[in-house]
Amino acid sequence: MKSAKEVTTETKILNKLKNRPVCTELVNYLFSDAELQEIQDYANNVSIRRLGYNDHGPVHMRQVVYNAIKMMTILHDFGIKTSLEDEGIGTFEDSMCAVILAGMMHDMGMAIGRQNHEELSGLLSQPIIDRTLMHMFPNDLHKRVIIKAMATEAIIGHMSAHKIHSVEAGIILIADGCDMTKGRARIPLAINTAPKVGDIHKYSANAIKWIGIHHGERKPIKIDIEMTSEVGFFQIEEVLLEKINASPAKKFVELYAGVEGEERKCYL
């Protein structure tokens, strides 16, 4: 049974896709995929209960999809082409499909473990991607090939350890980094009380009050972060900024962060 946060995030995603029937059909198919749901749930169990990490399950993966859709839509509003569009081999809709698939599956590898989980996600995702694209585009081999390849690049590249080359994969990299608010750290903080190396990630994420993704002033995408204490800067500088710097979409992003009630610091 899905949690209230999963359902709420799915509603937000569907609202963002109101005028995109193909993408709406895609997310509805993925939301109803029982195997995908089981892997996401188990990945979260391994991440939180076995390893003591933050949420890497169905809520997180849906939030990354939502973040990515917002960023992709902003780029489209500014007339900026995706890599598939720019190369003349796909449409914006194709790019959106690839980003949605990647967001929904990028952390599946946590079901096996943390080390190289992005590569394991790429492996586990293939049969689900195949059957999803066959459902969506049964008579269009070209679409199935380019969307699958693009989604796989984004999945494998979401930790910034593997060099990526497309705007689409770059958006997933940033969208993943933007899911670092206190809600993501709530459960691990509650059930893992023994101190250990790596706790700074949970405490820094817990200091992030909210993250806004908006149309920018100097660049198309503006990421605005408010935190309750300065420990949140660790999450920004060691996680988000590292991902933005490795992203082919970096040139489209401006980044501001600060403690509530204080002046924002401009990073980009």
- Where do the DSSP E strands lie in the chain? 208-215, 221-227, 253-259, 265-266
Q: Which residues of 60-87 are buried (b: 16+ CB within 10 A; e: fewer)?
A: bbbbbbbbbbbbbbbbbeeebebbbbee
pLDDT digits (tens, 9 = 90+) for 95-133: 999 999 999 999 999 999 999 999 999 999 999 999 999
pLDDT digits (tens, 9 = 90+) for 56-99: 899 999 999 999 999 999 999 999 999 999 999 999 999 999 99
Q: What is the CATH number of domain 4-177?
A: 1.10.3210
Nearest CA-CA partner of 27 in 6, 45, 44, 41: 6
Where does the chain hold its CATH 1.10.3210 domain(s)? Answer: 4-177
pLDDT of amino acid 188: 47
Cβ atoms of 31 and 58 closer than 8 Å: no
Q: What average pLDDT does this structure show over 167-189?
A: 79
Nearest CA-CA partner of 125 in 32, 219, 30, 6: 30
Q: Could you give the CA distance from residue 102 to residue 168 in angstroms, rounded to a whole number? A: 10
- Write down the residue that tokens 């190369």 correspond to: 87
